[in-house]
Structure 1
Amino acid sequence: MRKLALSAVLGLLAGPALATGLDIEIAGEANGTVHVDLFEDVAPLHVERLTTLAEEGAYDGVWFHRVIDGFMAQTGDVEFAKEGGDMRMAGRGGSQYDDLPAEFSDIPYTRGVVGMARSQNPDSANSQFFIMFTEYPSLNGAYTVVGEVTSGMDVIDQIKRGEGRNGAVMGAPDRMVSVTVTE
């Protein structure tokens, strides 16, 4: 039997989350605000995690540490990927909360879709997420979809790209200045 974090169980008992989206203010090579509609009905545990971390201010100042042209921009490492953090460790951290069980769906990974980053273990998503630059069918059904960008894809398109096969961003990466929960 899978063990769920108490906050996840309480969230399920309370019913659907009140939040419907996130406004993400981005600064760096890209400057502007991105709005993400969240899919509470598709991935309630993951949406609850994102909104909890946003409400706590955990995402404020977090870098886009992995950006691969023609694929996606990844952020959300609230442990290592922010001012004062160790950029060499960016992408390896998470939040103080337990990892989440996968909530896979049949929603395809297309331009603007937001998914949860994880290790090879399907039940290892925590705080990191990525935004798709383009369609990427090999991710379909293998990563939890949490939402989609409904405005600001032009800002996402301007995010500083990383280098090499893994897309590690060198120098000063773009960052999420603030992440606000919308209703």
Structure 2
Amino acid sequence: MRFSMALAAASVLMLSGPAGAQEAAPVAAASVPVSDWRAVPAENLLVIDTNKGRVLVELAPEVAPGHVERMRLLAGRGFFDGLVWHRVIDQFMAQTGDPLGTGEGQSPYPDLKAEFTFRRDGQTPFTAVAAPAGAVLGFLHSLPVQTQPDAFMATTADKKVHAWGLYCPGVAGMARDEAPDSANSQFFLMRQPYPSLDKRYTIFGRVVSGLDVVRALKASPNPDGIVTGPDRMTRVRVASDLPVAERPTVQVLDTNSPRFRALSDAARQAKGADFSVCDIDLPVQVTGAPAA
């Protein structure tokens, strides 16, 4: 089955603070200055319409170019239309992309080489928010990332350092078999944080709108997560493949903006020693066409 079943039984490692800890106040989109918004390019916006509502995923080609290209290809050919969310586990993730609806199917295209990590240089659009010993936490656009410090770039032949996405809520990953290079068409969206997946499953993007829809998908009460009477995707397209009149427009708080710096500082102060990059929720505003 695509996606190790051992993970279904593993305990979920929640990254929230202890009971009663102060929470950072959410930021209302209306309070964000116009100059602090960043538009998500249409070619990097995956529009997933489901029977429960619309989910918008910002793709991250800097992180996993091969997997992003596969998602664009399959979406453009209508491969995902009508497929079910066959494996959904509460407090974990929702999985789909199998034409058989059993966890055993895949697309007719070859399996993909794993992209668990990527190389980052000074030109990579990365914003740091914390620097624990020997590491840096931050964002690449909307994706939470951990990386080696910039100072290490001077010691490497390519002047780059290792980096990887973090499995926070909404992060989009590729399912696979036990073999690292076996991802194909099945993917999953995180309903909650699950750090034990970091650097083990390729991340290709993050939900920027519709996490409530992901969490509303019918979940299985069984340990294997296989759903009886599952929800389904009705249409999946990259926004750039849609007619202009049907494209949603998405703007996310720019992580280079002063407003983001204030937001991240507030989250760190509220959580204290329990702070995680997953605690930062980026304000988003969506305009344009409604769900199909």
Bin for the TM-score computed over the shorter chain? 0.7 to 0.9
Match of 1:92 in 2: 104
> How many percent identity over aligned positions?
50
Counterparts of 1:25-174 in structure 2, within 5 Å, are 25-27=49-51, 31-78=52-99, 80-81=100-101, 90-105=102-117, 106-170=164-228, 172-174=229-231
Instruction: Name the SS of the counterpart of 1:53 in structure 2.
Output: helix
Following TM superposition, by how much is the alpha carbon of 1:65 offset from its aligned partner in structure 2, in angstroms?
0.2
Match of 1:85 in 2: none
Following TM superposition, by how much is the alpha carbon of 1:68 offset from its aligned partner in structure 2, in angstroms?
0.5
> Is 1:21 aligned with 2:79?
no
Q: Which contiguous aligned blocks of 4+ residues in structure 1 show a shift greater than 6 angstroms?
A: none
Match of 2:126 in 1: none
1:160 partner letter? K
Match of 2:253 in 1: none
User: 2 CA distance for matches of 1:163 and 1:95?
Assistant: 28
Following TM superposition, by how much is the alpha carbon of 1:52 offset from its aligned partner in structure 2, in angstroms?
0.4
Structure 1 residues without counterparts, runs of 5 or longer? 1-17, 82-89
Match of 1:11 in 2: none
Structure 2 residues without counterparts, runs of 5 or longer? 1-41, 118-163, 241-292
User: 1 CA distance for matches of 2:59 and 2:224?
Assistant: 27
User: 2 CA distance for matches of 1:62 and 1:40?
Assistant: 24
Superposed CA RMSD in Å reads 1.3
Q: What is the total number of aligned residue pairs between the two structures?
A: 154
Instruction: Name the SS of the counterpart of 2:218 in structure 1.
Output: coil
Instruction: Name the SS of the counterpart of 1:179 in structure 2.
Output: strand
Following TM superposition, by how much is the alpha carbon of 1:180 offset from its aligned partner in structure 2, in angstroms?
1.2
Instruction: Name the SS of the counterpart of 1:47 in structure 2.
Output: helix
User: 2 CA distance for matches of 1:19 and 1:121?
Assistant: 30
Instruction: Name the SS of the counterpart of 1:115 in structure 2.
Output: strand
Q: Which TM-score applies when normalising by structure 2? A: 0.52
Following TM superposition, by how much is the alpha carbon of 1:163 offset from its aligned partner in structure 2, in angstroms?
3.0
Instruction: Name the SS of the counterpart of 2:61 in structure 1.
Output: coil
User: 1 CA distance for matches of 2:188 and 2:171?
Assistant: 8
Q: Deviations over 1:36-60 (max 9, x none)?
A: 0001111011011111000000100
User: 2 CA distance for matches of 1:100 and 1:180?
Assistant: 20
Q: Deviations over 1:64-100 (max 9, x none)?
A: 000001100000013x12xxxxxxxx11110000000
Q: Radius of gyration: which is bigger?
A: 2
> Is 1:176 aligned with 2:176?
no
User: 1 CA distance for matches of 2:172 and 2:81?
Assistant: 18
